[in-house]
Amino acid sequence: MNKKVRVRFAPSPTGGLHLGGVRTVLYNYLFAKKHGGDFIVRIEDTDQSRYVPGAEEYIFDCLRWCGLEPDESVQHGGNFGPYRQSERKESYRQFAEQLVDKGFAYYAFDTPEELDKMRQDFKTEHNPSPQYDHSIRMKMRNSLTLTNEETKKLLENGTKHVIRIKMPEKETVSFTDMIRGEVNFDTSTVDDKVLLKADGMPTYHLAVVVDDYLMQISHAFRGEEWLPSAPVHILLWKYLFGIENMPQWAHFPLILGPNGKLSKRDGAKYGFPVFAMNWSDPKSGELTEGFKEKGFLPEAFINLLALLGWNDGTEQEIFSKEELTEKFSMERVHSAGAKFDYEKAKWFNHEWIKRLKVESLRLKVGELLAQNGIHVTNEGLLDKIIFLVKDRCTLLTDFVQQSSFFFKAPDVLDVNAVKPKWNEAKQLFFAEIIRNYELTTDWDAHVLENNFKEIAAVNDLKPGELMLPFRIMLVGGKFGPGVFDIAAILGKEETIRRIHYAMGKF
RNA sequence: GGCCCGUUCGUCUAAGGGCUAGGACACCACCCUUUCACGGUGGUGAUACGGGUUCGAAUCCCGUACGGGCUACCA
């Protein structure tokens, strides 16, 4: 009988949610949903010094925006709580002590200064960063080197101490990664990781294993940066809960920036966002722009992240969340890291804007215009405009430039585009256009275009030379949909008013 | 330094021993378009290197190089 699929995403509330983080959530979510399982979000907040207020709420905001809502979490409830590790503090100590009793771990009383000294003393050219491992541990102050009485006394006196795992000296541990296949480690090269810190909090190593067990996690997926600590976790499973109960693992490749590692910091440096949504650091007050605010659709954001390290083997590139859920498979996730390409990311967004129906864009475009001081009350009009301009919008924010002029006469006209070729004949032509349009009763794009061209022909002028000035008059610059479509939407009065105003400027 | 992971056009990738290594982004050219786009057609461009195994290797094996990650009482 198969265990129910239960996967978890375990962010630490220390800052914004970056690309790699969102992709990890996504793959976890897709895997869970594909197999009819649960998607759990657990907060890894055991390092209180790095806890950033607001980060937790921010993470859930991002998940909500992406449409990746958990089945269980701090915010969503569930039967395996608490979902915040700091609130589970008490349960970890007993497991750590259980390990000490069985001889798989030990108490260590070394002070930070002593650890520093050890790292200095044992540092050599061939070993620049000595580890607290089998070759060193017998030279340190811990329950392996002290007598039982000494240890007992120190503990009774409340001496600051940690619990470290005692890595076997010569053992090969291996597991089968769902993406990479069999991976082997030699325990002699792994150090005696701290499991329980001096403040009583567990480290990630202990917490992840205990919580995955208690929360009945069936599959555990995380970034490749965790691969080196896998042997510690494997041993903990073996010692504590039985290796046969260990979840199936997969380690995702890293998402790289233009120059290697994609760092959370200085997102502005790359010229593109690295966070899902705007993140303002409460300590520094620094604001880092997010994909949402940059003008990305969640549909596109998810789509582009999914394809960064996975594909279904066909040439399809545009997938809805439903399609991804149906087609996703861990076996088709790559093992190599992927460099993030912002140009391609924008292409995904453009494709989604083109594909999405006007109704799906209406709300977002309306909000965006409102933020720019344009409050649209006529929904039918907004729909018409969105339909007309959406093909030329790569980011949602492009809608502002592409549609503002429908509601507000341009503040500045690109007169330089017109002035050099402006002359008396053109002046007279537009004067006649005004008279003609004033008498037009059927205010329709085709009618306006026909009249425009007829008058041009009568005056022996090329329509092409007149359409650019006309565009500048209505729009202000060299952009936007067809001029006559614009005039049709603007209406008679406004169109004539803008021609009139602009003629005085050329 | 040690350990682990990786390596196909500039970028994301397809091809799991067998046709001229396919697609997408970007770039270039042309068509469409009297703006900018959309769209259409075509083009430039890759199996890191060296050895094996094989009739045959991008694909399997070994080595080298290069890249990345880890090497905290951070996750």
Residue-wise DSSP of A405-469: HHHS--SS--GGGTGGG--HHHHHHHHHHHHHHHH-SS--HHHHHHHHHHHHHHTT--HHHHHHH
Among chain A residues 121 through 160, which have CB within 7 angstroms of nucleic chain B?
126-129, 131-132, 160
Q: Quick one: pLDDT band at residue A133, thresholds 50, 70, 90?
A: very high
- Give me the pLDDT at residue A1, please: 44
Q: For residue A41, what are the β-bridge partners? A: A9
As a whole-number percent, the residues of chain A with pLDDT over 90 amount to 92
- CA trace torsion A464, A469, A473, A476 (10° rounding): 100
Q: Select from A211, A304, A221, A178 the least CA-distant residue to A27.
A: A221
A454 touches strand B (CB under 7 A): no
Could you give the angle at which helices A19-34 and A55-66 cross, rounded to 10 degrees? Answer: 60
Q: Quick one: pLDDT band at residue A259, thresholds 50, 70, 90?
A: confident
- A264 is a catalytic site residue: yes
What tens digit of pLDDT does each residue of A10-31 get?
999 999 999 999 999 999 999 9
Does residue A72 sit in helix, strand or coil?
strand
pTM: 0.95
A51 touches strand B (CB under 7 A): no
- Give me the pLDDT at residue A266, please: 56
What tens digit of pLDDT does each residue of A448-501 get?
999 999 999 999 999 988 999 999 999 999 999 999 999 999 999 999 999 999
Q: d(Cα A181, Cα A213) in Å, to the nearest integer? A: 23
- Give me the pLDDT at residue A82, please: 97
**What average pLDDT score do residues A355-375 get?**
96
Omega into A273 within 30° of 0, i.e. cis? Answer: no
Nearest nucleotide to A462 (CA to C1') is B34
Q: Quick one: pLDDT band at residue A419, thresholds 50, 70, 90?
A: confident
Report phi then psi at A349, rounded to 5. Answer: -65, -45
**What average pLDDT score do residues A383-409 get?**
96
- Give me the pLDDT at residue A424, please: 92
Sign of CA dihedral A457, A463, A465, A468: positive
Q: Tell me, in Å, how far CA of A224 is from C1' of B29?
A: 43
Among chain A residues 356 through 375, which have CB within 7 angstroms of nucleic chain B?
none
Q: For residue A73, what are the β-bridge partners? A: A77
What tens digit of pLDDT does each residue of A267-315 get?
667 889 999 999 999 988 989 999 999 999 999 999 999 999 999 999 9
The residue among A184 and A81 whose pLDDT is bigger is A184
Q: Quick one: pLDDT band at residue A400, thresholds 50, 70, 90?
A: very high
Q: Tell me, in Å, how far CA of A501 is from C1' of B41?
A: 43
A260 touches strand B (CB under 7 A): yes
Does residue A2 carry a pLDDT above 80?
no
**What average pLDDT score do residues A232-253 get?**
97
**Whether the Cβ atoms of residue A62 and residue A22 lie closer than 8 Å to each other:** yes
Omega into A82 within 30° of 0, i.e. cis? Answer: yes
Nearest nucleotide to A258 (CA to C1') is B11
Looking up tokens 């009065």 gives: A493
What tens digit of pLDDT does each residue of A147-158 get?
999 999 999 999
A414 touches strand B (CB under 7 A): no
- Closest residue by Cα to the C1' atom of nucleotide B1? A126
Does residue A210 sit in helix, strand or coil?
helix
Catalytic residue among A33, A166, A193, A264: A264
- What does pLDDT average to over chain A? 95
- Give me the pLDDT at residue A176, please: 95
Does residue A263 carry a pLDDT above 80?
no
**What average pLDDT score do residues A50-65 get?**
97
Q: d(Cα A420, Cα A61) in Å, to the nearest integer? A: 52
- Give me the pLDDT at residue A209, please: 98
DSSP structure class, residue A71: S
Q: d(Cα A207, Cα A46) in Å, to the nearest integer? A: 9
